[in-house]
Amino acid sequence: MSELNDESIRSASFVTARSHISASHSHSSQWPSTQIEPRAIAAASALGAQKRLLTSSQPSFGSATQIEPRVVAYEAALALKRDREAERLASKAPTTKKIATLLTRALPDVPDARMIVASTRFPNDSSQNSSIIPLSYKAKDRVTFGVVQQAQDVDLVLRLPLDNVDTVVGTDVECQIVYDPGSDDCLLVNYTKPQLRLTNFSSSSTLQISVKEKGSHLVQPGMWRISIVSDDQDPEEYHLAEFWLLGRRFDVSIHTANNSLETKRGMDDDAEGNISKRQKRYHDIAETASIQLINSSNTESKPITTATKRTDAHNPAPSSSTRRISDKASVPLLDLVDGETAVIRALRDRTDWSQSLSAAKGPARYQLRRVKQIAVTASAAVFTCEHSALTEPVVAKVLQCKKDLPHSLRTSTLLWKREKATLEKLKHRNVISLKAFDGRMFAMYLEPLPPSLYRGLEAKMSLSDISTILYNISSALVYLKTVPIIHNDIKPRNITYSPRRGAVLIDFGLATSANEWNAGGTPWYLPPDLLDYNSRGSPGDIWALGITMLYLLGRIKYPENNKPGWLMRELNHNGNSRKRMEDWLQYILTVRARLSPVNMGTGRNKLEHIVFNMLESDSDLRINAENIISTLDTSTATPLLLGA
């Protein structure tokens, strides 16, 4: 009998077994990566034992072909794993040193960039998103693009491909980078299941942070790498993208009311000086980083970060006409007081923005003089002001954002984006008009309007005014159904009125599309549909308007000051909140029973008949906005569209 050795046994069918495994990755899944090597070692031991037994001529253990298939399969799987690892290493992301060089070389092409990003491919929406500037600088497995923060930008959503990455997630990694309006920092939010690993490779010592799903981390200016770790028992780190976060490319200075501003040119000259200094500083940073990278050793580079101490035009040195913005101000414009002027200036003006509607409504540079405070709530500050890019006075609505609370920053970003996107769609005489905006400041600039319907604990209005208000807001609701949008927060404070201007629906911060759920609202105006069917929609807006009409007709006192409220998030439980809402609804039905159920054709009777049908518990039977208009005297009608 010829002598068998390890090589002769393996050569008999190794190629066949390996090709069989390579034909389908699912075969290799029979032996997880952490089990292949131990089994292969055991197989090698078995081969050695077999060799000794066969050369001793003990046939009771069988021939080599009886042990061969399993042994060869394990060895082939191990070899396949090594090949795949070699492939992965061959396509491994460039070193941080190479990435730093790449990002630094790309910066001069987009000097007004807020970020320079290196990723495996360009974003899918780069052709439609004017804030993304594709660049020609490339490295192995990397393309680059710049990101500019325009007046409409409060964040950037990055979708990073998972090409050649072993993970249970079948989609791209999605993360959101939220711009902090009060500092150069940003908040990175992870919206995908894999835990992200953030590495700051521009600091003196490499800093790594893990961000779980729906978690967030405050990112300071510098160079960062986004990675994920594979979820198998032998985890590997995969680098998805790198970005260089730069400081804000705009300045804000506040000029006090006590020291009159000599001229507009004087204000601009101050801002120009600050901007020139910042432009020179960023140029120096890029140049220094390039020299450092070129002269560095073969170790991983530690490029200079923009998060260095600087003379910030956001906090200019005190002078006869300017003052420092409070460190407590989460949004610079919230630090304004009546009579003061804020000067907002971009480091550079992008000429290609000037022709766009976005630039027209959201100029990069302007002045804002605060005239008079209207209201301050937990969510926003509202004041009348003069905007240098607009010919008429406007009302500023600036969203509040609690400093150092990541959740507050995320919430304010969502609310601003939603309301701005909603208002941009709307054009109706009885709906508030958006005149301009600035996402960098969480600000929207709206048309000035008369006071709201709030008249204290008890309203005192004429039947003629009440009828006009009901007609106007019903007209607005008919229009909103065509968009389609649900307001979700109709109440006296969200309707303004004067006999000359008519009634106008305001505050679309909680508005949603017709098929979108919203968990917000003011308790006393929520419909019974929410308890019975967990739904609202257009019938919910009609119910809320009906409650408002009860207040205007003097049938109830101002709800917010009359009955205790409750928490919407607790309505699904049989607790105190649900009981309070049920008690309130029962009270409303009692008041409704005193209204006229029959239309007698007279002023008050007609109004009460309509309100009676607006407060129908069954949403399917509740009157709609179109029928309200047809029931009312058409002499109160006003044009539905602006300019009509």
Domain positions in the chain are 6-90, 96-245, 251-261+310-446, 463-636
Furthest CA-CA distance within the chain: 117
- Rounded CA-CA distance 173/241 in Å is 11
Question: Fold match between 251-261+310-446 and 463-636?
Answer: no
pTM score, whole prediction: 0.74
The yes-or-no verdict on residue 68 having pLDDT over 70 is no
Backbone CA torsion sign across 63, 66, 67, 69: positive
For 298-339, write each residue's pLDDT tens digit: 333 333 333 333 333 334 334 448 888 877 778 999 999 999
More confident residue, 456 or 51: 456
The reported pLDDT for the residue numbered 258 is 59
Proportion of the chain above pLDDT 70, given as a percent: 70
Q: How is residue 494 annotated by DSSP?
A: G
Confidence of residue 280 (pLDDT cuts 50, 70, 90): very low
What is the percent of the chain where pLDDT is above 90? 50
Structure tokens at 627: 């029928």
Q: Are 181 and 148 in contact (CB under 8 A)?
A: no
Taking all residues of the chain, what is their mean pLDDT, rounded to a whole number?
A: 78
What pLDDT is attached to residue 39?
A: 57
Is a pLDDT exceeding 70 seen at residue 191? yes
Q: 251-261+310-446 sits in which CATH class? A: alpha beta
Output DSSP code: residue 437: E
Q: Which stretches within 180-263 are classed as H helix?
A: none
Mean pLDDT of 181-209: 88
Task: Give CA 519 to chain center in angstroms.
Answer: 17
Higher pLDDT, 381 or 327: 381
Per-residue pLDDT, 21? 41
* 248 vs 23: which has the higher pLDDT: 248
Tokens 């006296």 belong to 492
Q: How far apart are CA 394 and CA 519, in angstroms?
A: 30
| First-to-last C-alpha distance (Å) of the chain | 104
Nearest to 451 by CA among 508, 492, 510: 492
Q: Which CATH number fits domain 463-636: 3.40.50.1220, 1.10.510.10, 1.10.520.10, 1.20.1600.10?
A: 1.10.510.10
Residues making up the chain, counted from first to last: 644
Task: State the SS3 of 278-312.
Answer: HHHHHHHHHHHHHHHHHCCCCCCCCCCCCCCCCCC
Could you report the per-residue pLDDT of 514-542, keeping only the tens digit for each? Answer: 888 777 889 999 999 988 777 789 999 99
